[in-house]
Amino acid sequence: MIENQSDKVENLEENVSEDVKNNENSSVNENQISDDKQSPEIDDEKTYSDDLKDTITNNDARLEQLEKEHETLKGQYVRIAADFDNFRKRQSRDQDDLKVQLVSKALTAILPIVDNFERARQQLKPESEEAQTLHRSYQGLYKQLVEVLKQQGVSPMRVVNQQFDPKLHEAVLREPSQEFNEDIITEELQRGYHLEGKVLRHALVKVSMGPGQQNSQEPEEKDKVEEEIDSESSISEEN
């Protein structure tokens, strides 16, 4: 009886020891499984971080390239805009110059008519009532013509008693003058005109050369000749 009980106790202890061993083995297996599960996760995180770093590096390089392209395109745009603005200004100047040339050509063709009106006005001296009526009509036409020229920007030059300027005047005659200094305009032979500040037609003028030097030199030359004649005659008389 006692032996049977002892056997039972031994069997029980063996069972308990086996259970303990099984529990230990199971815990070890669980720890290994958990370690096995954690190692792939760590590898995945490392791979993800590396990929993220590569992506950031690539994005930075791409951003730098795009910024360079942006600066290049911006510079090209600025140059094109400046070229277009210069082209627009040049076209505007060319159109203005062409307009002035066309107007100048038309007005230059009209100026001889104005000259004829002025000459006729100076020569006509109406005496009868009929001639005076005709003269008033003529004066009305002349005023209308002058008014049209003013509206187009044409203005006459005032040249008498002015300094001669080859940019504005054309000297037809140059003569000595006791009244005017040298290079002073003494007479207007044909009126000159401006068109909006530019020369439409040069004025034909007579220019002073200043006081005549020839007349002042002639008496001196005569005196010298007379002195030489007198000296020669005195020498011949002594001989």
Give 24-72 pLDDT, tens digit per residue.
555 545 555 455 545 556 666 777 777 777 788 888 888 888 888 888 9
Q: Are residues 120 and 182 in the same domain?
A: yes
* 229 and 190 fall within a common domain: no
Measured CA to CA, the distance from residue 69 to residue 47 in angstroms comes to: 33
In this structure, are 199 and 225 located in the same domain? Answer: no
pLDDT digits (tens, 9 = 90+) for 140-171: 888 888 898 899 889 999 999 999 999 999 99
What is the DSSP code string of 119-130?
Answer: HHHHH----SHH
**Alpha-carbon gap, residue 100 to 107, rounded angstroms:** 10
Residue 44 is assigned to a structural domain of this protein: no
> Residue 125: which pLDDT band, with cuts at 50, 70 and 90?
confident
Specify the 3-state DSSP secondary structure of 218: helix
Q: Is residue 14 part of a domain?
A: no
Same domain, 166 and 154: yes
Question: What does each C-alpha distance from 223 to 38, 229, 233 come to in angstroms?
Answer: 138, 10, 15
- Looking at the structure, do residues 126 and 169 belong to the same domain, yes or no? yes
Is residue 142 within 8 A of residue 121, CB to CB? The reply is yes
CA pair distance 80, 86, nearest whole angstrom: 10
Residues 141 and 198 in one domain: yes
Q: Is residue 57 part of a domain?
A: no
Q: Does a structural domain hold residue 136?
A: yes
Q: CATH no. for residue 164?
A: 2.30.22.10
Specify the number of domains making up the chain: 2
Residue 229 lies in a domain: yes
Residues 160-213: tens digit of each pLDDT: 999 999 999 999 999 998 888 899 999 999 999 998 888 999 999 999 998 865
Query: Is 69 part of any domain?
Result: no
Task: Based on the fold, state whether residues 114 and 189 are members of the same structural domain.
Answer: yes
Q: Which domain holds residue 231?
A: 212-239
Kindly state whether residues 120 and 199 are assigned to the same domain: yes
The arithmetic mean of pLDDT across residues 82-97, rounded, is 89
Q: State the CB neighbour count (10 A cutoff) for residue 159.
A: 22
- Same domain, yes or no: 203 and 227: no
Q: Is residue 161 part of a domain?
A: yes
One domain for residues 179 and 228:
no
Between 48 and 80, the higher pLDDT residue: 80
- Pair 200, 121 in one domain: yes
The predicted model gives 78-82 an average pLDDT of 91
Q: How far is 239 from 233, CA to CA, in rounded Å?
A: 10
Quick check: is 113 in a domain? yes
Residue 141 one-letter amino acid: L
d(CA 101, CA 40): 90
Q: What share of the chain is helix, strand, coil (3-state, %, to 5)?
A: 70, 15, 15
Pairing of strands 193-195, 154-156: antiparallel
Give CA 210 to chain center in angstroms.
46
User: Are 199 and 224 members of one domain?
Assistant: no
Beta strands across the sheet bearing 193-195 = 154-156, 193-195, 198-201
